[in-house]
Structure 1
Amino acid sequence: MIYSFRNSGFRDPETGVYNQTYFMEVFNREWHRHIREHQSLALLYLCPHIHETVKQPHLLEFFMKEVQKAILRTTDLVARMDNDHFALGLFNINEDGTQIVLERIEKKIETFNLEYGKQHTSHVDFELAACVCLPERDLNIELLFQDVEKLSHELELEQSKHTALRLLQ
C-alpha cells in the first residue's frame, strides 16, 4: 500500500482499512441513526492468526483486501481495532443477511488460504464472531461490543468452529 497523508487520519497504515477511532465515530453515528429508523445492524469481530514465523510482507494487507471483497455494500465498514482484531460494521442488515455475509467471508478466506498455500507452507486461521441487534434508546452500545468480544473469545477457546452468530436482545 502506498502511504498517503490524505488518508493518514482515518486509515491503518499496515492494512489500509479504517482505524479504530474512525470506526467508532461512524459506528456510533450509525447506531443513533438506526435507533431513529428502527433498523438492525451487525457488529463482527475478525481475528486472523498469522504466526510470527511467517515472513511474508503485506500478508495482513492482502488478507484484509480479500475479506473486504466479501463485503459487497459500500456502506459497510472494516477497521483494525488492534494488532489481533478487526471490526466490521454491517448496517441495515438482519440476521439472515449477516449469515450470508459470514458465509461469503469464510469462502473468501478459504480461497485466500488455498492460493496462499500453493506458494507457502502456512495458512491463516481465524475466528469470526457476529452479533446482530436492533438498537434502542435504553440499549447501551457498549453491550454490543462486549457481546461480540465475548463470543469471539468463546470461539477462540472452543477451536472446533471458527464462526458464530448471535442475536443481541
Structure 2
Amino acid sequence: MIYSFRNSGFRDPETGVYNQTYFMEVFNREWHRHIRDHQSLALLYLCPHIHETVKQPHLLEFFMKQVQEAILRTTDLVARLNNNSFALGLFNIDEPGTQIVLQRIEDKIKQFNLEYGRQHTSHVDYELAGCICTPEQDLNIEIIFKDVESLSHELGREKNRNIELRHLQ
C-alpha cells in the first residue's frame, strides 16, 4: 500500500482499512441514525491468526483486501481494532443479509487460503463473530461491542467452529 498523508488520519497504515477511532465515530453516528429510522445493523469481529514465523510482508493487507471484497456494499465499514482483530460494521441489514455477508467472507477466506497454500505451507485461521440488533434508545451501544467480543473469545477457545452470529435482544 502506498502511504498517503491524505488518508493518514483515518486509515491503518499496515492494512489500508479504517482505524479504530474513525470506526467508532462512524458506528456511533450510524447507531443513532438506526435508532431514529428503526433499522437493524450488525457488528462483526474478525480475528485472523497469522503466525509470527510467517515472513510475508503484506499478508495481512492482502487478507483484508479479500474480506473487503466480500462485503460489496460501500456503506459498510471495515476497521482495524488492534493487532489481532478487525471490526466490520454492516448497516441497514437484516439477519438473512448478514448471513449472506458472513458466507461471502468465509468463501473469500477459503479462496485466499487455497491460493496462499499453493505458494506457502501454511494458511490463515480465523474467528468471525457477530451480533445483529435494532438499536433502541434504552439499549447501550457498548452492549453490542461487549457481546461480540465475548462471542469472539468463545470461538477462539473452541476449535470446531470459527463463525457465529447472534441476535442481540
Scaled by the length of structure 2, the TM-score of the pair is 1.00
Partner of 1:86: 86
Aligned-pair CA distance for 1:7: 0.2
Q: How far, CA to CA, are the matches of 2:99 and 2:41 in structure 1?
A: 12
- 1:99 is displaced (CA, Å) by 0.5
Matched AA of 1:14: E
Aligned to 2:17: 17
Q: How does 1:40-79 map to 2 (within 5 A)?
A: 40-79=40-79
RMSD, aligned CA: 0.3
The answer for the alignment partner of 1:26 in structure 2 is 26
SS in 1 for 2:6: helix
Percent identity reads 81
Mapped to 2, the partners of 1:98 and 1:165 lie a distance apart of 8
Partner of 1:114: 114
User: Deviations 1:66-90 (Å, cap 9, x if unpaired)?
Assistant: 0000001000000000000000000
- Give the whole-Å Cα distance in 2 for the aligned partners of 1:136 and 1:22: 22
Q: After TM superposition, give the deviation of residue 159 of structure 1 in Å.
A: 1.3
Give the letter aligned to residue 100 of structure 2: I
Q: Which residue of 1 aligns with 2:150?
A: 150
- The Cα shift of 1:158 comes to 1.0
In 2, the alpha carbon distance for the partners of 1:73 and 1:6 equals: 23
Read off the aligned partner of 1:42 and give its amino acid letter. Answer: A
Residue-pair matches, total: 169
In structure 2, the partner of 1:134 is 134
Distance in 1 separating the partners of 2:3 and 2:74: 22
Which position in structure 1 is the counterpart of 2:96? 96
Q: TM-score, normalised by structure 1?
A: 1.00
Give unmatched runs, 5+ long, in structure 2: none
